[in-house]
Structure 1
């Protein structure tokens, strides 16, 4: 493929656009043609470019010329830095017909805007990893306490008469030996469940045939709440949880356990 002479290409493009721009908004119309939106209703690219540089679709020739003059001032001021842009400025200054200046300026505006988008994407690429790193940080959630309510044989419960704090393996042992169980939020046992239980003040003896009710507060037992199977109680019991005995009493009978899960 033969190389296109830049001057010939410029003349070809300008001659193609030249006859299509007239009346108000010439600079706006030129940019429309360059980005291929002359026949489009949305004109998204045109609006983005023109809004950025303050180019109006209804501007008269003098208003467009004022915007072009601002562009030229910037180009000529930095001519020693960017020879390519300086050469474009020279072409614009030599234009005898104003429409040629519109075409050259419009191409420059489009090029500047596209390059700005490239720079913006690079800056966003630098910021994005930091944003992702922030998103990946876990959100701290305070532990949710729970009350584990169990009905166990007196022979098992007698080992915990004078105990207030339990180890995790001891709680697991109690779950394994429970007849009934229920794990709820801390307010439920007092208000809804325990009021139906008939407890006694008698001493819990290891050889007693009584069933014993024991309520254990677990400071981080949120995942245990409403579990219906003992296995899931144990697997959701945190290894570092603090377990405190809140109530320990013999049951007169097994009435009032309707809401409990039976094993």
Structure 2
């Protein structure tokens, strides 16, 4: 136990030192990645309670029928929600001919049980923003890795993701709004649609362009989809609404 506490102190001192060294260059990706990795290691070895979940309220809601939801592209929850956990967006490889088609929010501190180093028939990859068009919304995040956060509402019990709107219908509360993302039509990998926050963030130091699970902005295509009211080639918005 003493050794564990000593390790915790060493890591915390490292975090504090890195933060001090970086105070004149707060946007240095390598330093931000270092801080992030230290916190992740601390969570893995000492448990999540050492670095408690961050909330916008003085209490932690962990029971009852309150709504839990995932916000893509963010590390914080909207007001009126508690953070259940933060993590990394992940999914199947963009060139995979099979595999799951769901985007998951993977926690920063995984827990393993039985494991092997043998090759597998199924893998999950981290997600990257593919907003390569210079005039595209969120182009600043091109090739960055996608964060996510699972939130629990204090009050709401129902949620819908409304595509092609950045406003909720009457009687619903807007939690966040953004742009509709999914896999590329030309890729063989399966994917789903996710609503990425319009004020999206990126994982620290994540512009490596490793091309695993990729998210592209969804554009409307006229045909069976009527134009108007849709506009061919325009990026579609989205909204997460609760009640």
TM-score over 0.5 for the alignment? no
Larger Rg: 1
TM-score (norm 1): 0.19
Q: Give 1 or 2: higher helix fraction.
A: 1
Task: Calculate the TM-score normalised by the size of structure 2.
Answer: 0.20
- Normalized per residue, the structure richer in strand is 2
Higher relative contact order (CA 8 A, sep 6+): 2
